[in-house]
Structure 1
C-alpha cells in the first residue's frame, strides 16, 4: 500500500511547501476533494450518542446562553486581550494565505466573531496557534482563553474542559494516496500503517481497528507529508479535515465510509462558566444572523458539497 519512488518524486514540491505545516496549497475546487455520494448523504449525529462520544455523557449539553459579563469575562476585559487558540495547518479551516499573509478559514471567521462580540474591538483579540495534542493543556495552563480549532466534544474531554454548544457535525474519515487499491475505510485500515494527530479523536478511534501501526504526529497536516513521502499508508482525521487534505493535494483521496459521528465545540476552562455562556450567546447570534451559513458557503461548501444545514448540530 506504500507509494513507490515515482509517487515520492511527484510529491517533492508539495513536501517542500508542507514541511513547515503552515503553507496553504492549491486553490479552487479540485476534484479530489469531492466526497462520494454515499458519504455525503450520511445522517448527522444525534443527541445522546454516548458510544461515539467515548463514554456516558451528553455532548450537546452546555450552559444556557447569556449576554452578561461574569467574573471570567471581566477578567479578560481587564487584561485587554482575549486569546483564542486556533489552527494554522488546516486548509479552509485555519491557515495562513501565502499570497496575502492573512490567517483565514471557517474557524478563523468564527474565532474573530466571538472575540469581537465579547471584547467589542477586534484589535483586542489575539489568535494563537495551538498544536492538536496541546489544546487542553493550553486551556488548563491559561495560555489561551478558549480553543476554536476543529475540536470534537467527547466525554473524556468534558472531564477536563468546558465546551460551548456544538457548532459543527463531524465524523472520522480516512485519506489514502490515489495509488492505493483501498476503496473502503476497512480496506484502507486493515494491516496498514495509519497516521493520526496526537490527542485527536482519530488516534483514539484507531485503537478499535486492526491496523499494523499508528503513527502519531503533532498536527494532522504532518500526516499528509508522511503520505507523500510513502512513510504511512493512510490518514484518519475529521471528515472536514480529510476533505481539506484532498483539496490541498490532488494525489490523495477520501475513501468510502465514515465512523464515530460527533460534534465540534469551543473549549474553555471548566471554571469559566460565564465565558461559556457568552460564547453560546455569540454562537446563537452568529447562526441566527446567517453569518455561520455564509462562512460555510465561502470556505467549506465547495469541498463538502452538502448544504450548510447538514453540518449545523440540532438538539433532539
Structure 2
C-alpha cells in the first residue's frame, strides 16, 4: 500500500508537469515524501519533550494524523521547534507546511494565514483540591470574597477571574507551577487556568485534584496553513474532519483520552452531525 501511495504521488507530480499545471503545496509535500510541521516543545499536554527526549503531546498527535492521511505513515513528518511568535512567520515564509501549536483563531491572524477546521475548543476553568473546603464552582461563588484564586500573572488576569467569581480575591503568580503550588499549600482555594491544563494535571495526579465544573472565555485552536492554496487547505481539513468524525476517529479519541483523560463519544451513525 505504501509503495502504491508513493507511486501515486509521483504520478500526480509528473502529470502536472506534463500539462504545464502549477503544483501546489499538496503536490510539493507528496513529492518531498514528508510533512514539515511547526510546533513547540515546552507546553504539556500540547507539545513537550518526554523523559526519552521524544516530542509528544496533542498537537504532535494531530500533526501525525495529517501525515498519515498523506503517506499512510504518521512518522513521515519533520517537526520544526518554534517559539509562539514564529507560528505565523514560519508559515508565510514557507519554512513549514503547517503550524499545529495550540494556536488561537482570531480575525487578525486569519488575515495572515488560513486556519483549518478546529481540533479543540479551549477555555478557562477552576481546579480544586479533592477534599478541600469547596466542592465546586457554586460553592466558590457562594463564598464571595472569602475565596482566593491563584492565576498566572497577566494584565487581564483579575478581570478574567472576576468574570466567573466577581467577589473573589485574586493572587497572581509569574509561573504556572506557582499557581499549582499555591493551591497545594492552601494559599489559594482554586487555581484558574486553561481547561486543557486542568484536565492534564488531574490525569497526571489521580485522586488529588478536580475540575470545579465551570468554564468560560472560550477560544478555538486550529492549525494554520499559508493563504492562496485552497487544495492544501481542503486536504488538511478533510484529514482533521475525518479524524474527529470518521475513519480516523479511534486515533483522535485515543489521543484525547491520553492527554485529557476523557472518553469521547463516537460519532453517531446515520445523518451527518455537521448538518443537524
Please classify the TM superposition score into its range, dividing by the shorter chain length.
Answer: 0.5 to 0.7
TM-score relative to the length of structure 2: 0.62
The yes-or-no answer on 1:275 pairing with 2:228 is: no
Question: What RMSD, in angstroms, separates the aligned Cα atoms of the two structures?
Answer: 4.5
| Residues in 1 aligned to 2:94 and 2:131: alpha-carbon distance in whole angstroms | 44
Give the CA deviation at 1:205.
8.2
1:155 paired residue number: 107
The yes-or-no answer on 1:254 pairing with 2:208 is: no
| Residues in 2 aligned to 1:128 and 1:87: alpha-carbon distance in whole angstroms | 8
| Residues in 1 aligned to 2:73 and 2:262: alpha-carbon distance in whole angstroms | 32
Higher RCO by CA contacts (8 Å cutoff, separation 6 or greater) = 1
Contact 1:196 1:235 (8 Å CA) reproduced:
no
SS at match of 1:175: strand
Identify unmatched segments of 5+ residues in structure 2.
1-15, 17-21
1:86 equivalent among 35, 39, 54: 39
1:251-272 CA-to-partner distances (Å, cap 9, x unmatched) read 5432231113454322122334
SS at match of 2:123: strand
Stretch of structure 1 that moved more, 176-185 or 114-123: 176-185
| Residues in 2 aligned to 1:306 and 1:246: alpha-carbon distance in whole angstroms | 17
Give the CA deviation at 1:114.
0.7
- Check 1:123–1:104 CA distance in 2 against 1; reply closer, same or farther (3 A cut): closer
| Residues in 2 aligned to 1:252 and 1:132: alpha-carbon distance in whole angstroms | 29
| Residues in 2 aligned to 1:205 and 1:309: alpha-carbon distance in whole angstroms | 37
SS at match of 2:109: helix
1:116-135 CA-to-partner distances (Å, cap 9, x unmatched) read 43356656411234445653
Give the CA deviation at 1:242.
1.9
Give the CA deviation at 1:155.
3.2
Give the CA deviation at 1:78.
5.9
2:67 paired residue number: 115
1:292 equivalent among 234, 239, 249: 249
- Check 1:80–1:214 CA distance in 2 against 1; reply closer, same or farther (3 A cut): farther
1:243 equivalent among 199, 217, 229: 199
1:304 paired residue number: 262
- Check 1:103–1:314 CA distance in 2 against 1; reply closer, same or farther (3 A cut): farther
| Residues in 1 aligned to 2:54 and 2:107: alpha-carbon distance in whole angstroms | 35
Give the CA deviation at 1:279.
0.3
Give the CA deviation at 1:160.
3.4
Contact 1:151 1:265 (8 Å CA) reproduced:
yes
Identify unmatched segments of 5+ residues in structure 1.
1-67, 217-221
2:223 paired residue number: 266
2:126 equivalent among 174, 198, 202: 174
| Residues in 2 aligned to 1:315 and 1:263: alpha-carbon distance in whole angstroms | 20
Give the CA deviation at 1:167.
2.8
The yes-or-no answer on 1:230 pairing with 2:187 is: no
SS at match of 1:85: strand
SS at match of 1:279: helix
- Check 1:101–1:228 CA distance in 2 against 1; reply closer, same or farther (3 A cut): same
1:126-184 CA-to-partner distances (Å, cap 9, x unmatched) read 12344456533443454432222333433343233211122334433233556875542
Task: Pick the structure with greater CA Rg.
Answer: 2
Contact 2:150 2:171 (8 Å CA) reproduced:
yes
1:206 paired residue number: 160
- Check 1:307–1:169 CA distance in 2 against 1; reply closer, same or farther (3 A cut): farther
2:12 paired residue number: none
1:9 paired residue number: none
